[in-house]
Amino acid sequence: MSEPRRKRGAERTSNRGPAAIPQLPPSRVENPYPPVALLSADQIEAIHQASMHILENFGIEVMSPRALSLFERAGAKVDHGSMTVRVDRGMVEEALRSTRSSYTLTPRNPARAIHLGGSTINFTLVAGPPNVHDMERGRRAGNMPDYQDLVRLAQHFNCIHMLGNQVCAPVELPANTRHMDTYFANLTLTDKCFHVSAIGRGRALDGIEMMAISRGLTLDEMAQDPGVTTIISVNSPRRFDEMMAEGLMTMAEYGQSVAVTPFTLMGAMSPVTLAGALAQQNAEALFGIVLTQLVRPGAPVMYGAFTSNVDMKSGAPAFGTPENTKANIASGQLARRYNLPYRTTPGSASNAADAQGAYETMMALWGAVLGHGNLVYHAAGWQEGGLTASFEKLIIDVEMIQHMMEVLRPIVVDEAELAVEALGAVPTGGHFFGEPHTLERYATAFYQPMLSNWQNYEAWQEAGGLDTTARATRLWKKALEEYVQPAMDPAVREALEAYMARRKEAIGPGEP
């Protein structure tokens, strides 16, 4: 890993040119506070029982013959005509007995390993948008140069612990093989963990293979020491398509992590009530979790949740709403009921990196943190309801994440921190600016923002009067200038390139 640039707070370079962007050092983030309980134990149990009723009586459509066969051999009721699988609570309970409450993902740089479970929180880069945006070039289709720059920013900012699956789709590349180009960018431009694409078996296996190559491991070795994860998005209501099912089974087969995540938009893909949406989400998540354990007992799996609502006037998805925030908290309670790591998401429906984008994201981020999310997906760069990766929004989100990390830093109460002697030394009506206690600590006493402007109005105007978004534009450019590419053994790079060449030739014009 590159040498840490600075300590917490306001350490600056001296006599070495312009100061680097202030940021928090690399760290494992722990939530020291008890999780918020929006729902009582009886309410959680009622949701669980409703979920069991859904699984036992209504079932889930599974569009994969291989998955249908697995469920049938395990004793589930399978209707091959409708591809509907009904599982009983006994099968769910048996599967949950083999899951893990926590596990670690290790990338090519072991110092960047992330822990999933318990009180740890990990924030990821946005994933999946077809478009990209910045204030100077506007909105455009995703492309590889922008992909690479966004990945560089994720490497540069310590509070982004992990990359998602394709920060933007590089649409100029062939759709059937570009997943490997993005994996290669992830592995060479960063040394952090990343999500692989699980749209079918081939894309998932390519990601597993390439991470194993970068770590110098066999697939059997990496099955015991996982390095990648994926999001399995359920086609709510109550459908697993063939590609998602195959991707899930491939990840589990090779011992890699999966976050089973229903996309339950209240009023559209789930009931309009939060309790009903949570019951459906819970049933769908548990169903996918059962499938991972049928493939490989003990396979690492997360309880994923993405419940929000739609605008009932237009049908458009909404994020960062009060309902979304409550769902983030309540879903954490459900994940803890099953003793599983929890994947959650902040988000916003705003089409710009503006105040709406910030307050909606912060609302949902609070829900993720109060709900004790372990993987906070799409945490940096999400815009336009997930349709666009924004350079400016990424910077704004990094600032908000760092604020949150500082809120989570425990308060120290000891003799020095109580400052009783300093209090006695300052007369009534005096000030603490010149006190030794202040002078010893002032440089690192408080969180130093990288984006916020604390100047008075006159000084701010004199400096150009830039608003938050304009300052964010300057910052992402500066961050790219500061970016340092992590070292990689040339032999490893050559092995990755050779793997890609072989696979692209084998795939040809077909599906991977």
pLDDT score of 506 more than 60 = yes
Residues 186, 194: contact at Cβ < 8 Å?
A: yes
Cα within 13 Å of Cα(407), Cβ side: 12
Range of the structural domain that residue 233 is part of: 1-408+447-512
What is the residue-wise DSSP string for 410-448?
PPP-SHHHHTHHHHHHSPTT--STT-HHHHTTTTTSS--
How far, in Å, CA of 370 to CA of 326, rounded?
10
Residue-wise pLDDT for 54-84, tens only, equals: 999 999 999 999 999 999 999 999 999 999 9
**Residue whose entry in the numeric block shows the structure tokens 């300093």:** 422
- The token duo for 487 is 């070292």
- Which runs of E-coded beta strand occur in 300-403? 301-304, 306-310, 317-318, 342-344, 375-380, 382-383, 388-390
pLDDT at 18: 74
State the DSSP H helix or E strand holding residue 60, giving kind and residue range, or none if neither: strand 60-62
- The token duo for 486 is 């992590």
Q: Say whether 73 sits in a helix, a strand or coil.
A: helix
Query: Helices 468-482 & 391-407, crossing angle to 10 degrees?
Result: 90
Question: Which residue, among 330, 376, 339, has the nearest Cα to 36 in the 3D structure?
Answer: 330
- The token duo for 274 is 């939060």
pLDDT at 2: 37
| Residue 419 resides in a domain | no
Q: Say whether 483 sits in a helix, a strand or coil.
A: coil
Q: Which one-letter amino acid corresponds to residue 313? A: K
Q: What percent of the chain has pLDDT over 90?
A: 96
| Residue 159 resides in a domain | yes
Residue-wise pLDDT for 16-51, tens only, equals: 457 899 999 999 999 999 999 999 999 999 999 999
**Residue whose entry in the numeric block shows the structure tokens 């077909």:** 510
Residue-wise pLDDT for 300-314, tens only, equals: 999 999 999 999 999
Q: What percent of the chain has pLDDT over 70?
A: 97
| Residue 362 resides in a domain | yes
| Residue 174 resides in a domain | yes
Q: Say whether 500 sits in a helix, a strand or coil.
A: helix
How many structural domains compose the chain? 1
Q: How many residues does the chain have?
A: 512
pLDDT at 403: 98
The CATH number covering residue 35 comes to 3.20.20.480
Residues 497, 174: contact at Cβ < 8 Å?
A: no
For 316, 366, 382, the CA distances from 310, given in Å and listed in that order, are: 5, 20, 18
Question: Which residue, among 256, 283, 257, 254, has the nearest Cα to 270 in the 3D structure?
Answer: 283
Biggest CA–CA distance in the chain, Å, is 84
**pLDDT band for position 290 (cuts 50, 70, 90):** very high
| Residue 422 resides in a domain | no
Residue-wise pLDDT for 383-410, tens only, equals: 999 999 999 999 999 999 999 999 999 9
φ, ψ for residue 25 (rounded to 5)? -70, 165
pLDDT at 19: 86
Residue 313: CB atoms within 10 A of its CB come to 6
Order the strands of the 60-62 sheet from edge to edge. Answer: 77-79, 84-86, 60-62, 239-240
| Residue 125 resides in a domain | yes
φ, ψ for residue 173 (rounded to 5)? -100, 155
pLDDT score of 9 more than 80 = no
Residue-wise pLDDT for 435-486, tens only, equals: 999 999 999 999 999 999 999 999 999 999 999 999 999 999 999 999 999 9
| Residue 413 resides in a domain | no
| Strand 228-234 versus strand 257-266 pairing type | parallel
pLDDT at 17: 55
| Residue 93 resides in a domain | yes
Q: Partners of 84 in the beta sheet? A: 61, 79
How far, in Å, CA of 277 to CA of 270, rounded?
5
